[in-house]
Structure 1
Amino acid sequence: MSRRPLRATVAIAIPLGFTVALTVALLVGGKSAAVVLFDDTVSFGLALYATACAALAARAAQDRLRRTWATMAVALGAWSLGDGLWLVYELVPGVEPTTPSAADVFYLLFAVLLVAAFAQLITTATHQGRLRLLLDAITVALCLFLLAWVLALNSVVVTYREDRAALAVAFLYPVFDMIALTIAVVVLVRAEARQRGMLTVLTLAVTLMTIADSAFAHLTAGERYSTGDLIDVLWAASLTAFAAAAVLSRAAHEPRTVVALPSTSSLWLPYVPLLLAGTIGPPLVMSGLERFLVPAIVVAVCARQIVSAWENRRLLAAAAEQALRDPLTGLANRTLFSDRLAHAMALRARDDRSVAVISVDLDDFKLVNDSLGHPAADNLLVQAGQRIAECIRPGDTAARIGGDEFALLLESRSDDSDVVAQRVLNAFSSPFWIDGDDMLIRPSIGVARALPTQPDLDPDTLMKRADIAMYAAKRSRVAQVNTFHDDMMMSDPDAVERAEQADRPSGEGAAQIRLLGELRAAIDHHALEVVYQPKIDLRTGQLAGVEALLRWPHPTLGTLRPDTFLPLVRQHGLMRPVTDFVVDRALSDAAGWARLGAPIPVAINLFAPFLRDTDLPRTLDHRLADHGLRADILTVEITEDLVLSEVDTAATVLHRLRQLGVRVAIDDFGSGYSALSYLRDLPIDEIKLDRHFIAHVTTNPKAAAVVEAVINLTHTLGITVVAEGVEDAETAGWLAAHHCDIAQGYHYGRPTTASMVPRLIAGAAAGA
């Protein structure tokens, strides 16, 4: 048990123990002087204790509840003064209280202030609500008064008919109590869940006070009351309940609920006074058959009203549930998610639990919406919502918070957010069936955690952090989970805004969707092609190898180069099948050339995220073996600006490739920002100088100096230099003169088909 509930339990147990002790003393000791003194002392102590608890509750509360408890503290303070004076009457010999006494002034002040305190709890927003509140109050008040009149007040009026002062005092106690009890009942039945426990105990306190005051008036009228009577236990129990309600008010930490349903007690509690008055009163004042018929009628009417109220509550609960659910996916909506997040954050420090928010956004959803229409987009959202909901654990919350944005709330003693987030990512690995076509949609996923050691973290900040991490994942264009860290805001404060802008589709969305469908069909039917560009050894003029390049012979648009369709391949998770196709085709062609007696090295471009796959070396080794090729016939080219974030993992994979004999090349060297660091950190066999450097070596001295310096540096490191984009003889001559190793470009030949590659050997020899 945490410290806060333990302290609350102790605070309630203390006055309860004294009340039990007083009950035992009155039952065992009778009305001896010691018992009477103990009675007065315990009553005075409980009054002071209840006053202190109410004052502490007022300090901890806010707004209307603070005013209620402040008034309650003053009221209980007045009761304490009354009990203090009564204790003086008992202790000081010869001091006898008059009727009414000075203590009665403070007791009456308590009754008035008690009504004022409860009156501040009354709140309702509509005219219909105020009318229902008024009718409930009238019903409860009249029934309570009727019951008290039949049982006690009638005899009080008869006894004190001639003594108006005594009649007023004896009569006003229970009347003010019944007013406070009426307010307590009507407030309780419409209270929010977070306040019902405290208000129930308060209502119990006033109920006990009302019974005690009514019994006191009745016994006093018959001159049968003296200190030490058992009704003193009712006052003690009432003060204990006031103290307990104050403690419960301080211990409550639940946030405001989103939709406040009427409590179950609201269905029957307003009818309890009517049942009591209608079943107890008639037998006391009636005779004959009516003394049985009237109670039966009252019970039937009350039962009928309760059944109707129960049905109305069920319908209201169904409506409230719909108001908190996304109508399309059936998941929680933003309102319910925000409420549960606030609740989880309020409880995490007290219960030592971890809270995590996972933000999920569907990439290119707007493209689908604008191109295929709203029905197709809605279908996608429904399927995505189902997959996300299947990934969470019991007790977690999955919500659609707007558009294509989803959020998950995870609450547990241990932090499993990474496991759940990866489960969501894996759920999107299979395609969605949209308008008769399979479509791979990739999610961007961000995770933010709130640990119990972060007490100052609020729900809005946690949600914002999850969004920032999600937008970071969206910018990376890599299917992975991003977890928030402080550097995300420090390094790029405008990240969220730019990510939102980047997600907006262009006006060519419909064309892109159509092209995507055609691309999927081309991949499925192996309709893509691989062509080969020669690589020439500048020292000998001989063919040093070829680079495999992808082409798409589109039936209407002609042959498309990779820069036209590779963005779609990357965005929609098609890189794996495309890469598999290129590798198999290139190795198959290389095996064919080898059978013709012309073993020609071949280079393939590898999408950089594949370097996270530690099985890549084993996979390539098996494919080389399947085609009967040595590993040194294959060169893997990776684009340097895509490896920056994962150098360590990439280095491990590349080392294993080189151990097999596969060569490793950095493509477009110099186009990124970390070229030199790759020479240091990665196992590289060759670099391919970007065509933008090569194009100006004969006209720009600075470009020539940079290329010459790179050639000298890489030769020092034992790395081969390949020049891309060589378009003329003058550039080729400059590169040869400066000891560049290999060159490729239109000066040596355009990409050609596999069947033409063996002829390149003879052509290169003739050119040399």
Structure 2
Amino acid sequence: MVAGLALCVLPIWLVVTLAYWLSGSHMSLATGADNLMIALAAVATVAAAMTARTNRGRVRIAWVTTSIGLGSFTLGAVLWLFYRLFQVEHPYPSIADIAYLVLPIAVAIALLLLSSGFSRASRTRLVVDALVVAGSFTIVGWITVLDEVGKAAPDDRLKVAISASYPVLDAAVLTIGVLVVMRAQGGQRRTLALMTSAMLAIAISDGAFVYLTATQQPTADALLYLGWLGGLGLFVAAAVTGRGFAHRDVVVAQPVSWTSVWLPFVPLLLASAAVYTESPEEIRAGPIPVIGIVLLLAFSARQLLVMSENRTLLATVAEQALRDPLTGVGNRIVFRDRLNHAMQMRQREGLSVGVLVMDLDDFKVVNDTLGHPVGDELLSLVADRIVASVRAGDTVARLGGDEFAVLIEGRVDNSQLIAHRVVEAFDEPFIVDGQDLLIRPSVGLAVAEQDEPDLLAEDLLKRADIAMYSAKRSRSGGVHLFNSEMLLVETPDSDLFASGPMPASRTGAGTIRLLGELRQAIDHLELTLVYQPKFDLNTGSIVGVEALVRWPHPRRGLLSPDEFLPLVRRYGLMGSITDLVVNQALDDVVRWNADSLEVPTAVNLFAPSMADLRLPGKFATALADRDLSPSQLTVEITEDLFLDNMDRTKTVLDQLRQNGIRIAIDDFGSGYSALSYMRDLTVDEIKLDRHFIAPIPADRRAAAVVRAVLNLAGELGLTTVAEGIETATTADWLRQHGCNIGQGYYFSPPLTADKLRDVLIRCRESGARETLACPVRRGSSHWSDADVPQIELMP
């Protein structure tokens, strides 16, 4: 609409000019300048309207406002030319002046809309600064020039008001323009500077026009038009550059410029100096007292805004001093301060204090492969998840790098509950830069015990740190609760550990890709199970099977546990793997039972999983849903890891055994605390690790150690199972020394569920009809998958 109005002005201008020319009059130089100004103003109006069409939001509104101002200026120029051509007497003030004065108001609004980096208070102060400058220049202008207008036309208040409006509005818009340009960002400054320069040029001509009018001099001088023409040309340039204007509707922290500090004060000082040159009678005769009161109110409001902004700034700086600038959570300073306060309250009121320290596993891989910006965004998302997992009164802080800490106050069980909630928050992948990243934390927890009243805050934090390093070493996931045994293990200096060299395919981006594939395989139940039979070494009967997980990878083929379980431990997928294995194994048991093949099945659990108080209920539900007896399930605890909470583990094991589920310690002899587990945990059997068994035939010392363990297990009433039996000699030695059960490739390799079913049926049909005992056939050693399991028994 505005562009159409501007385009309509051109034909009108041509018609008026042509009519004047046909009347026989001759154009003056000023009249030609009027014609040129009309044409250039129309072009500027159209350019601003076209720029408005190419933008959106506030930028579009700003350019629409500018086009309205320029269109009004064009209309004023046409009216002024009409007055000049038809020799209208006393054309000043007129409707043309009102049209002219719309432009500075429109440009001031446009500059405020285009400004970036200002808060609401800053924009308000910007307007108040403009009023202060405008009021100051009004006083100076009145004393130097405008009082002549008042004296020349004492009864024509409209003329005085119009004459004062030009410099006042121009001074206000120039003040806004200068301050906005000083705060402009990249991609903004050129357009804003052109608009401000355009108004400066127009303001110069406006001031000259008011001066000539006040001193009753001719205003038809063509030189007067240079400022107006130059300003309109600059508006055209601003409109062209404004098509790529990059607006940022955010508050940008910038140092305060000296211009914004002294700009309101300099005009105010000039106004004060000008007032001192006048007599009291002259001051009272004009509008200076009223303007002075308005100026005083505006300046007072400005100072109040400055004080408010300073208070807000100081509060922000104080807050930022206690906040991590990247994630927004607390920093190390605030965490230590609140931890010290919590420990003091603990001594006074006896409340429990827990400290959780966590570190992101393999975060360096993300930085090295995807870049530091992705790593920074990931840290922010991690902080958000931690905050969402804790209570409102808990303190979350980033200690540095990818290490976070949580201060938990209240009951002891609150600390462990919140710690497990934090770990569970990492079950879902993070979406960063369009990619799903599954990142797992190593979490250490230390709780100040009641029998340690003199424990210091630094010591509690150090304990949590040690527990976190223990979690990193084990790569087992879960929450590692500090215990005194951890002090016996030296804490490494590095904050990134590995359980051994990883294959090249599992480093860098390959690790992230493989993690995503593993996660998808778990979610889509693509992992499979095979079962290795367990034989009674005295009778040759199959007395159970052990479920072993395999991953049929679409490109790499069938992967054994050694090839992907390190990733499961490292990235905390144990819970998902456990659910998959237990449910799939029990489904296979149901199918075997349908063929009257009742065979106990063992599933492996990582030791830290045994601290999950929900585990007994989950197993009981899985058995009940399938109408299975608990005696058909054995839980084997992988013993090569620390149990992170012995008290909770005992509770879980007791509940499992009360439900009728057997408990076995797997890989006995490979871990840290084998004998203490036999002493402290109520279990049903121990499984001797294959590396414990293999040296028996050739190493007398190894045989003596195994014999001692078998004797000790017998004294404790525990069933013994030997893993990895490869030869008849080993099997016979174990039988003679009291080992109950054996498994290994000497008897049978792991079999699929269907192959195992066939083997069990053949065993039943070829031997005792009521049992699963296989007849012993002499003269065999190693067998293939298709063979019926055999054992060579010595007399």
Range into which the TM-score falls when normalised by the shorter chain? 0.5 to 0.7
- How far apart are the structure 2 equivalents of 1:753 and 1:654? 29
User: Which runs of no fewer than 5 residues in structure 1 stay unpaired?
Assistant: 1-258
1:324 matches 2:320:
yes
Equivalent residue of 2:645, what SS? helix
Alignment of 1:186-335 (within 5 A): 321=316, 324=320, 329=326, 331=328, 334=331
Correspondences of 1:495-534 after superposition (within 5 Å):
495=491, 497-501=493-497, 508-534=507-533
Distance 1:534 1:402, change over 3 A: same
Decide which moves more: 349-358 or 518-527: 349-358
Q: What pairs up with 1:284-433 in 2 under 5 angstroms?
A: 321=316, 324=320, 329=326, 331=328, 334=331, 338=333, 359-390=357-388, 398-407=396-405, 424-433=422-431
1:625 matched to which residue of 2? 624
Question: Per-residue deviation at 1:490?
Answer: 5.8
Q: 1:442 aligns with which of 440, 443, 447?
A: 440
Range with greater deviation from structure 2 (609-618 or 630-639): 609-618
> What is the Cα deviation at residue 661 of structure 1?
2.8
Q: CA deviation at 1:711?
A: 1.9
Structure 2: runs of 5 or more not aligned: 1-252, 764-773, 778-789
Alpha carbons of structure 1 residues 616 and 346: separation in structure 2 relative to 1, 3 Å = closer
| SS of residue paired to 1:642 | coil
Q: Distance in 2 between matches of 1:689 and 1:315?
A: 72
Partner of 1:585: 584
**Change beyond 3 A, Cα 1:319–1:483:** farther
Question: Relative to structure 1, is the Cα distance of residues 694 and 373 closer, same or farther in structure 2, using a 3 angstrom cutoff?
Answer: same
Following superposition of structure 1 onto structure 2, how do residues 22-41 of structure 1 map, counting pairs within 5 Å?
A: none
Describe the superposition over 1:601-657 as per-residue Cα deviations: whole angstroms up to 9, x where unpaired: 221112223322334333323322333332222222112243544333333332333
- Percent of aligned pairs sharing the same letter: 47
1:138-185 per-position Cα deviation (integer Å, ceiling 9, x unaligned): xxxxxxxxxxxxxxxxxxxxxxxxxxxxxxxxxxxxxxxxxxxxxxxx
Structure 2 residue matching 1:497: 3-state secondary structure: coil
Residue of structure 1 equivalent to 2:690: 691
Q: 2:109 maps to which residue?
A: none
Give runs of aligned pairs for residues 10-49 of structure 1, distance below 5 A. none
Per the TM alignment, residue 747 of structure 1 is displaced from its structure 2 partner at its CA by: 1.0
CA distance in 1, matches of 2:524, 2:466: 40
Q: CA deviation at 1:686?
A: 1.8
Retained in 2: the 8 A contact 1:371–1:513? no
Structure 1's 488 and 366: CA in aligned 2 closer, same or farther, altered over 3 A? farther
SS at match of 1:545: strand
- Per-residue CA deviation, residues 522-568 of structure 1 (Å, 9 max, x unaligned), is 11221111001121211112222211111111122121111211122
CA drift of 1:760 comes to: 2.8
**Once the 2 structures are TM-superposed, how far is the Cα of residue 735 of structure 1 from its aligned partner?**
2.0
Deviations 1:320-350 (A, max 9, x none): 948938797451574xx62685599699979
- The equivalences for 1:455-534 within 5 A come to 467-468=465-466, 470-475=468-473, 477=475, 491=488, 494-495=490-491, 497-501=493-497, 508-534=507-533
Contact 2:478–2:608 under 8 Å retained in 1: no
C-alpha change, 1:401 and 1:552, in structure 2 (3 Å) is same
The CA distance in 2 between the partners of 1:607 and 1:515, in whole Å, is 21
Question: For 1:246-265, what per-residue CA distance to the aligned partner results, in whole angstroms no more than 9, with x for missing partners?
Answer: xxxxxxxxxxxxx9x99xxx
Post-superposition shift, 1:373?
3.7
Residues paired across the two proteins, number:
493
Q: 2: CA distance between counterparts of 1:380 and 1:372?
A: 11
1:523/1:577 contact within 8 Å kept: yes
Judge which range, 379-388 or 500-509, deviates more: 500-509
Deviations 1:570-594 (Å, cap 9, x if unpaired)?
2333222211221122122222222
Distance 1:468 1:758, change over 3 A: closer
1:563 maps to 562
**Within the alignment, does 1:753 sit opposite 2:752 as a pair?**
yes
Distance 1:471 1:512 in 2: 22
1:707–1:628 distance in 2 versus 1, CA, 3 Å: same
Aligned Cα root-mean-square deviation (Å):
5.1
Say which SS state the counterpart of residue 661 (structure 1) adopts: coil
Distance 1:314 1:417, change over 3 A: farther
User: Is 2:615 aligned against 1:616?
Assistant: yes
Task: List per-residue Cα deviations over 1:122-149 (Å, max 9, x = no partner).
Answer: xxxxxxxxxxxxxxxxxxxxxxxxxxxx
1:528-543 to structure 2, matched below 5 A, reads 528-543=527-542
Moved more, 470-479 or 314-323: 314-323
Supply the AA of the counterpart residue of 1:428. F
Q: Which range is displaced more, 690-699 or 320-329? A: 320-329
> What is the aligned partner in structure 2 of residue 13 from structure 1?
none
CA contact (8 A) 1:689 1:721 kept: yes
SS in 1 for 2:515: helix
> Is this contact kept in 2: 1:469–1:488, CA < 8 A?
no
- Classify the secondary structure of the residue corresponding to 1:324: helix
Structure 1 distance, partners of 2:711, 2:602, is 24
1:603 match: 602
Q: Is contact 1:329–1:386 with CA below 8 Å preserved after alignment? A: no
Compute the displacement of 1:678 (Å): 2.5
Q: Structure 2 counterpart of 1:403, which letter?
A: G
Alignment CA distance shift 1:565-1:328 (3 Å): farther
